[in-house]
Structure 1
């Protein structure tokens, strides 16, 4: 390929090239304002996945979104003053109690105060017939006793802690609701803390961005120190960092147009592109300085034909490596793979166009030499077989210890330390035995049929025997009917007419659908959580609802299990495709199956455990590391002088 015309333009008009490229970068980069971040785990599940379909079915009926919990602490949370504070905060957040979330975004609220009010709203002798908080401590204690075991999910036995649980609509303005909640909490004397999926997701998003704001500058500083150590000039830093910075702006500008939804995984694209972009810049910069050709145009042409070709090869294989993620059925993985592949392409374009221009504009001529590098090259040439044997031995020793790897993931242990909301969530989980995340069972049947209610009650008892806390409209009906299930529809109609105006039970208008709330114990490892979800679904499948159907568990726990199972499948498939495509690419470029196979050996060895141990479970962080190795590893395999000298020397000998 004739690169002389490109070299001429770069040499004759370096400032014009830099200016035009800069203008284009900022025009495209301006579209990054369209980007937004989501922390909803359900986006990781593909369309058509059973858990997702069930969740969508529930959302269509009830528009369920995040949960928000206010963790209340005190010496005695049944103190009338504490209860009044709870009532005030609840009413401030849920300003329209009967709007079903259409105005204030709050579908339902469950607290010890709301349960006491429900008891008080019952006709005498059970209550006063008024839906209000009684002032009498005697009545409060009486109603708490009447509530029974249902209070255990929101009230500790020592009466020092309670919870206010808000279920929000899917389209609720989380920022506004959090502001209302924070302002309400500040105005009361009782100690209250916001936890739950909404505050937790917001906190994790802020923490991730904060950490990135710390880690990214640190990475830049450390890389700068290394570059400065070899080049002893600030010019080298500008040449090394400007191209990847432009590549990052271009990448997120394009993503802002074609794929604006970001996840926590998307943040890693920045670090990846900075690392790769600096590599590309340094390779080209050092090659320009090493080239002895006096004619500048010829020098740049030679650099583009030699090192430029090598960098292009690395770019293609790395793009293929990360691009293999786009065969995934998980939307965030597709976007991540696309973002990485796109960013790597822009890194190559930026480095190829800008590095020669910057070297000429800044008149950068300093050469860098690593002391002892030539001695290392001679050593590897003389001892190539020994080094290769040592490398293989280390690889196989690594395989030998794989059975000791703990693959049972506990996601709560991965949460950032020192984050107040996370710490309070853990404390809440320990005291109440639940994380507060929403898990539900959808049931469709005639909810006025006594046989249906009895079948639901029997299913709930089986779940409780397994240590699973459940609650549904059936529990309210049973309590109103003095602990017994109604035997005829007339009594059921009477009970419904009494409670439907005051209760937040999820039941549709024609009494044909309802939701059963499920509280799964907190701090379960992934294997334990999967086992629990399977036990719940087994009980569901063994339940016979007369002329009705009960669906599998859906919600937070079911989604986590589904994602965990899907990750391994997606990882294995994308890995195989990545290795296959890159191998094919190398054969086309090298025109040699042998050299291509040799180039693939270091990468293939790092993945041997996938072949010998298919039961190993991965989580998102592990998968990202392996995808990173799959994509970036080719660069160092193709360009690593030590490995290539060893292998080539053996082949020639």
Structure 2
């Protein structure tokens, strides 16, 4: 984490990838395609000297940006040159291993039909705003088909889908719970008494998170707080209301006071121990887990406070009276007493099976992209990019040395070779790779030099 933070001080680690495809009759290296890619890049990275301070794009790496860099370095400007010079540059880039990270012939027909545009964002960039701008930019293409992907795009899609699914699940949670409560109590009053405090506690908890949003990291997983609070908190209201129904005193106020006194210590102890258990998540260094633990600890105690204060009020206002009781529940209490040895034996068997058979099968490694919604375009294209370009989530290695030194560059090249040997499917890209990709032979160098001389009317000495 410390190394990553050090890297993020000077280099962008959040990478947006635009996956580019063309039709069967087109090639990524065709001049109109390169120009269209360039127009998208210029619309997003409109300030080349601010390193992302104004446009939130630190750099762009693509076949079109490399051609523009070479054109700029050989007497032209930072743009796609004419077809003759573009073909000249492409002829020198052809066959480069580094170039295969940017363009690909995916169907083996001899034409490059896919490409990627990689864009780095600075640490303080508003990722949502950049992604929205990128989505708008890729919509206005006529030749290419462009899809925004990469980790920021996938995280945005996951976050949006999570909240969409949450909005579908929460109403169902309340509806099914209401049906169960009505089935066992046969009165809508109990449904209101049990559910209203929980809804209030959930809203209060999320409202409190909104107040402290500048001090905590609110990740999409925070929505798990709502169903967990609902599950843990609804019991408090049921304990109080059921105890109220069991009281024999006719006076409603006395029955309410007695029922609260009877269960108050028990529900307080269960609430405080549960809150402390979730508060233990705050000890770790993962900020999203800290927020979840913090929200659950606050929310569970809020459920207890609201239950012991609001439930008695609702009982009195609604004049709650239990109308129905399942007779079979009375006999259920005798089952564990009459079958204690059998129950202990079955429990022991399940424990042995869990420890000996099931527990060793638990694995912590997981493909997090498979956890994302598989019908999202950004996820589909990321998987396609990973398969066709043998690429995926980038890793980084920090080199602390003089990168202008030949020995440093040679060491970087050696490390890249070692990575390729030990992990054949891992692709590396560094300043060394870019230098190799931009190789220019003597013939091309001469042609470019003569072009510069002619363009600027340079007079050469007689002895040349």
TM > 0.5: yes
Sort the Cα spacing of 1:69 and 1:141 in 2 relative to 1 into closer, same or farther, 3 A.
same
Cα distance in 2 for residues equivalent to 1:232 and 1:303:
21
Cα distance in 1 for residues equivalent to 2:411 and 2:356:
52
Q: Is the 8 A contact 2:225 2:296 kept in 1?
A: yes
| Structure 2 counterpart SS, 1:193 | strand
Question: Which residue of 2 is the match for residue 153 of structure 1?
Answer: 101
Q: Is the 8 A contact 1:71 1:192 kept in 2?
A: yes
Please, which of 425, 428, 445 is the counterpart of residue 470 of structure 1?
A: 428
Sort the Cα spacing of 1:224 and 1:145 in 2 relative to 1 into closer, same or farther, 3 A.
farther
Cα distance in 1 for residues equivalent to 2:90 and 2:439:
17
Question: Which residue of 2 is the match for residue 21 of structure 1?
Answer: none
Question: Which residue of 1 is the match for residue 38 of structure 2?
Answer: 87
Please, which of 382, 387, 395 is the counterpart of residue 425 of structure 1?
A: 382
Question: Which residue of 1 is the match for residue 123 of structure 2?
Answer: 170
Question: Which residue of 1 is the match for residue 454 of structure 2?
Answer: none
- Map Cα deviations across residues 207-257 of structure 1 (whole Å, 9 max, x no partner): 111111111111111111111212233222211111112212222333334
Q: Is the 8 A contact 1:155 1:163 kept in 2?
A: yes
Please, which of 140, 144, 152 is the counterpart of residue 90 of structure 2?
A: 144
- Map Cα deviations across residues 89-114 of structure 1 (whole Å, 9 max, x no partner): 11111111222111111110011111
Question: Which residue of 2 is the match for residue 208 of structure 1?
Answer: 162
| Structure 1 counterpart SS, 2:97 | helix
* 1:99-114 map, 5 Å: 99-114=50-65
- Aligned: 1:60 with 2:17: no
| Structure 2 counterpart SS, 1:188 | coil
Cα distance in 2 for residues equivalent to 1:120 and 1:255:
52
Q: Is the 8 A contact 2:15 2:152 kept in 1?
A: yes
| Structure 2 counterpart SS, 1:240 | helix
Please, which of 19, 39, 43 is the counterpart of residue 71 of structure 1?
A: 19
Q: Is the 8 A contact 1:286 1:367 kept in 2?
A: no
Q: 1:68 Cα deviation (Å)? A: 1.0
Q: Is the 8 A contact 1:284 1:355 kept in 2?
A: yes
Question: Which residue of 2 is the match for residue 266 of structure 1?
Answer: 222
Please, which of 367, 392, 415 is the counterpart of residue 348 of structure 2?
A: 392
Please, which of 134, 149, 152 is the counterpart of residue 81 of structure 2?
A: 134
Q: 1:290 Cα deviation (Å)? A: 1.9
TM-score (normalised: structure 2): 0.85
| Structure 1 counterpart SS, 2:105 | coil
| Structure 1 counterpart SS, 2:321 | coil
- Aligned: 1:275 with 2:231: yes
Unaligned runs of 5+ in 1: 1-51, 485-653
Please, which of 69, 76, 86 is the counterpart of residue 118 of structure 1?
A: 69
Cα distance in 2 for residues equivalent to 1:113 and 1:55:
29
Question: Which residue of 2 is the match for residue 239 of structure 1?
Answer: 193
Sort the Cα spacing of 1:104 and 1:411 in 2 relative to 1 into closer, same or farther, 3 A.
same
TM-score (normalised: structure 1): 0.62
Sort the Cα spacing of 1:141 and 1:56 in 2 relative to 1 into closer, same or farther, 3 A.
same
Question: Which residue of 1 is the match for residue 456 of structure 2?
Answer: none
Cα distance in 1 for residues equivalent to 2:217 and 2:408:
43
Question: Which residue of 2 is the match for residue 517 of structure 1?
Answer: none
Sort the Cα spacing of 1:432 and 1:296 in 2 relative to 1 into closer, same or farther, 3 A.
same
Q: How many pairs align?
A: 426
Q: Is the 8 A contact 1:231 1:366 kept in 2?
A: yes
Q: Is the 8 A contact 1:456 1:474 kept in 2?
A: yes
Please, which of 225, 228, 253 is the counterpart of residue 182 of structure 2?
A: 228
Question: Which residue of 2 is the match for residue 97 of structure 1?
Answer: 48
Sort the Cα spacing of 1:336 and 1:226 in 2 relative to 1 into closer, same or farther, 3 A.
same
- Map Cα deviations across residues 166-222 of structure 1 (whole Å, 9 max, x no partner): 101112222332232222212112211010122112111111111111111111111
Cα distance in 1 for residues equivalent to 2:408 and 2:276:
56
Sort the Cα spacing of 1:289 and 1:483 in 2 relative to 1 into closer, same or farther, 3 A.
farther
Deviates more, 1:373-382 or 1:221-230: 373-382
Unaligned runs of 5+ in 2: 107-111, 443-464
